[in-house]
C-alpha cells in the first residue's frame, strides 16, 4: 500500500514540474502584439504612409511563419520575386509556429519604430509567462522567429525607403496659384514627397491606379472647381450653426485620424497624438476577427492581406498627391473668400488630391468585405482617443463615411473624396484577385 502511495506521489510531483506541455498561443496574443505596435506608432508620431509600411512588413513576417505549417495559406514568396523563402522549421526542435510568428512580427516591428524599448518590454512580459510553461519550446521558437525576421528584414531593406530619407524636401515656392502651400497652425513641410518611389507590394507601379484628374483649377464662379470650393466653405458654416451635435460633425471628428494635431496655447505649441487612418482600419480588422472567432492563423491572414492593400493604397495616393500638387481648400478660402474661416479638422501637411482617407478606406473595406462579407459591427477603435462608438452595417458603409468625413472636416474637395474612394476600391479588388484572398466567414 505504501509503495502504491509513493508511486502516485512521484507521478503527481512529476506532472506538476513538467514543462513538456506545448505552449498555447491564441489569436488574442496576436491582437495584443499588433495593438502594442499601434500604440508605439501613436507615441512616436508616425505619418500615415510610414505607418502602413510598418503594418505590412510586420504582419507579413508573422504570415510567412504560419503559412509554412498550413495547407490553407501559401507563402508570399511565390508572389514577391525579391522575397526569399524563409528557412524551414527544424523538426528536431520544439518549435511552436504560433509563438515564432508573434516573435517575427515583433522583431520586424521593433526594427521599424523608434521606441524599441516599449516593444522589448512587451515582449519580455510575454516571454516570462511562456518560458515558465515550456522553456525549451520557448527558446527554440524564439530563435526560429528571429531567423524568419532576418529574411523579411533583408527584403524590406531593398524597398527604397532608406534612399527616400536622403531625398530633397518638397519645395513650397511657386507662383502657380493652384499649387499646394503649407497650412496653419504649424505650416509644416509636405510630408513624404517621395513616397511613390517605395516599392509596391502588389501593384505593378505606383501609378497603376492613377485616378481621373480633378476639375481644372479656376476661381471663376461658374466652374466645377469653384463650386466644389464653395461647397467646402458652406458645409462647414452650416455645421457651425447646428453645433457639435450634428451627425456631420460627429463623422468628421470620428474619422480625423491625424497623428499630429498642433495645438497652440499662448506662446506654447504642442501635439495631440492620434491613430493614423491605417491604424483605424487595423482596429476594424481586429473587431471583425474577434466577432468571427477566427483562430490564430486566420487572424494573421486577415491582418496581412488588409495591411498589404493599405500599404499599396498609400503608395498610389502619394504618387498622385505629389503629381497634381493641388492646393487645400483652407488656403483658397482664407485668401479669396473669408480670411477668418477655419476647417473643423486641422488640414494635414501634404497636397489635397486625392483624399488619402478615401483611397485607403476603399482598399481596406474591399479586402475586409472579401474576408468577412457585409459584416455589421460596432467600431470602438477611437474610444481610447476620447471618441464614442459608431455602428456600421458594412465595411463599405464605414469607408463611405470615412471618405465623406473629409468634406465635413473642411479639408478636401468632393472630387478628391469620390475619385479617391473609386481608386481605393480598384486597388482592393486588384489585391483580392492577385492574392486570391480567401473568405473567412
Average pLDDT over residues 230-242: 90
Quick one: 134 and 28 in the same domain? yes
Quick one: 239 and 332 in the same domain? yes
CATH code for the domain of 44 = 1.20.144
pLDDT value, residue 244: 75
- The answer to whether position 271 is within a domain reads yes
384 vs 388: CA distance, rounded Å = 9
At 115, is the secondary structure helix, strand, or coil? Answer: coil
Quick one: 221 and 142 in the same domain? no
Say whether pLDDT at 120 is over 90: no
- The answer to whether position 12 is within a domain reads no
Average pLDDT over residues 423-430: 98
Residues 241-253 as b or e (16 or more Cβ within 10 Å = b): eeeeeeebbbbbb
Q: Which residues does 350 contact at the CB level (< 8 Å), separation at least 6?
A: 180, 190, 191, 192, 193, 318, 321, 322
Higher per-residue confidence, 170 vs 11: 170
114 vs 94: CA distance, rounded Å = 32
- The answer to whether position 13 is within a domain reads no
Average pLDDT over residues 257-267: 79
Grid cell at residue 136: 525549451
Is the peptide bond preceding residue 354 cis, with omega within 30 degrees of 0?
Answer: yes
Q: How confident is the model over 41-81, as pLDDT tens digits?
A: 999 999 999 999 999 999 999 999 999 889 999 999 989 98
Quick one: 296 and 398 in the same domain? yes
In 3D space, the residue among 361, 342, 336, 185 whose CA is nearest the CA of residue 280 turns out to be 361
Beta bridge partners of 392: 377
- Total number of domains constituting the chain: 2
Q: How confident is the model over 3-26, as pLDDT tens digits?
A: 444 444 444 334 444 446 789 999
177 vs 182: CA distance, rounded Å = 13
Q: What is the DSSP string of 21-78?
A: SPP---HHHHHHHHHHHHHHHHHHT--HHHHHHHHHHHHHHHHHHHHHT-SS---GGG
Say whether pLDDT at 119 is over 90: no
pLDDT value, residue 126: 83
- The answer to whether position 5 is within a domain reads no
357 vs 182: CA distance, rounded Å = 19
CATH code for the domain of 353 = 1.10.606.20
Percent of the chain, pLDDT > 70?
94
Average pLDDT over residues 291-299: 98
- The answer to whether position 303 is within a domain reads yes
177 vs 220: CA distance, rounded Å = 13
pLDDT value, residue 7: 40
Give the residue from 156, 176, 206 where a domain finishes. Answer: 156
In 3D space, the residue among 299, 320, 268 whose CA is nearest the CA of residue 427 turns out to be 320
Quick one: 136 and 234 in the same domain? no
Q: How confident is the model over 357-397, as pLDDT tens digits?
A: 999 999 999 999 999 999 999 999 999 999 999 999 999 99
The answer to whether 412 and 56 have CB atoms below 8 angstroms apart is no
- The answer to whether position 393 is within a domain reads yes
Quick one: 112 and 203 in the same domain? no
Higher per-residue confidence, 127 vs 224: 224
Question: Residue 134 sits in which domain range?
Answer: 19-156
Give the residue from 156, 179, 213 where a domain finishes. Answer: 156
Higher per-residue confidence, 349 vs 171: 349
Sign for the pseudo-dihedral over CA of 330, 181, 360, 261? negative
Q: How confident is the model at residue 86 (pLDDT cuts 50, 70, 90)?
A: very high
Quick one: 147 and 275 in the same domain? no
pLDDT value, residue 176: 96
pLDDT value, residue 440: 97
Quick one: 371 and 225 in the same domain? yes
pLDDT value, residue 17: 41
335 vs 350: CA distance, rounded Å = 18
Say whether pLDDT at 195 is over 70: yes
- The answer to whether position 11 is within a domain reads no
Quick one: 64 and 148 in the same domain? yes
Calculate the average pLDDT of the chain: 93
- The answer to whether position 23 is within a domain reads yes
224 vs 55: CA distance, rounded Å = 38
Grid cell at residue 99: 509563438
pLDDT value, residue 127: 83
Quick one: 377 and 275 in the same domain? yes
Give the residue from 108, 140, 156 where a domain finishes. Answer: 156
Quick one: 205 and 332 in the same domain? yes
120 vs 116: CA distance, rounded Å = 6
Quick one: 346 and 407 in the same domain? yes
Amino acid at each position: 500500500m505504501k509503495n502504491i502511495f509513493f508511486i502516485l506521489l512521484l507521478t503527481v510531483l512529476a506532472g506538476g514540474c513538467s514543462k513538456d506541455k506545448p505552449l498555447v498561443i491564441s489569436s488574442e496574443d496576436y491582437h495584443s502584439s499588433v495593438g502594442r505596435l499601434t500604440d508605439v506608432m501613436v507615441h512616436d508620431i508616425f505619418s500615415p504612409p510610414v505607418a502602413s509600411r510598418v503594418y505590412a512588413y510586420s504582419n507579413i513576417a508573422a504570415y510567412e511563419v504560419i503559412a509554412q505549417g498550413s495547407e490553407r495559406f501559401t507563402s508570399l514568396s511565390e508572389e514577391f520575386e525579391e522575397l526569399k523563402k524563409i528557412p524551414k522549421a527544424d523538426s528536431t526542435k520544439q518549435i511552436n509556429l504560433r509563438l515564432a510568428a508573434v516573435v517575427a512580427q515583433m522583431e520586424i516591428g521593433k526594427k521599424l519604430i523608434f521606441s524599441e524599448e516599449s516593444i522589448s518590454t512587451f515582449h519580455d512580459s510575454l516571454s516570462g509567462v511562456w518560458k515558465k510553461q515550456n522553456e525549451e519550446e520557448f527558446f527554440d521558437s524564439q530563435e526560429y522567429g528571429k531567423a524568419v525576421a532576418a529574411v523579411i528584414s533583408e527584403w524590406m531593406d531593398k524597398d527604397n525607403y532608406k534612399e527616400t530619407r536622403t531625398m530633397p524636401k518638397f519645395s513650397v515656392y511657386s507662383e502657380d496659384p493652384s499649387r499646394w502651400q503649407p497650412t496653419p497652425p504649424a505650416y509644416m513641410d509636405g510630408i513624404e514627397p517621395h513616397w511613390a518611389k517605395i516599392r509596391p507590394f502588389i501593384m505593378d507601379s505606383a501609378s497603376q491606379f492613377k485616378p481621373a484628374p480633378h476639375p481644372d483649377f479656376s476661381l471663376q464662379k461658374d466652374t466645377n472647381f469653384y463650386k466644389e470650393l464653395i461647397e467646402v466653405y458652406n458645409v462647414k458654416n452650416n455645421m457651425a450653426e447646428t453645433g457639435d451635435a450634428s451627425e456631420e460633425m460627429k463623422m468628421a471628428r470620428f474619422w480625423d485620424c491625424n497623428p499630429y494635431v498642433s495645438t497652440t496655447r499662448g506662446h506654447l505649441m504642442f501635439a495631440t497624438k492620434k491613430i493614423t487612418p491605417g491604424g483605424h482600419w487595423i482596429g476594424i480588422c481586429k473587431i471583425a476577427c474577434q466577432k468571427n472567432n477566427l483562430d490564430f492563423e486566420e487572424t494573421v491572414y486577415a491582418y496581412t492581406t488588409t495591411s498589404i492593400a493599405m500599404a499599396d493604397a498609400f503608395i498610389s495616393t502619394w504618387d498622385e498627391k505629389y503629381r497634381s500638387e493641388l492646393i487645400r481648400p483652407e488656403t483658397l478660402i482664407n485668401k479669396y473668400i473669408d480670411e477668418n474661416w477655419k476647417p473643423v479638422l486641422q488640414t494635414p501637411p501634404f497636397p489635397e488630391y486625392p483624399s488619402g482617407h478615401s483611397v485607403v478606406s476603399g482598399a481596406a473595406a474591399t479586402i475586409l468585405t472579401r474576408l468577412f462579407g457585409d459584416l455589421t459591427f460596432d467600431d470602438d477603435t477611437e474610444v481610447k482617443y476620447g471618441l464614442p462608438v459608431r455602428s456600421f452595417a458594412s465595411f463599405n458603409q464605414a469607408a463611405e463615411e470615412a471618405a465623406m468625413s473629409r468634406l465635413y472636416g473642411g479639408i478636401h474637395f468632393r472630387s478628391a473624396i469620390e475619385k479617391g474612394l473609386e481608386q481605393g476600391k480598384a486597388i482592393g479588388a486588384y489585391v483580392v484577385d492577385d492574392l486570391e484572398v480567401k473568405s473567412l466567414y
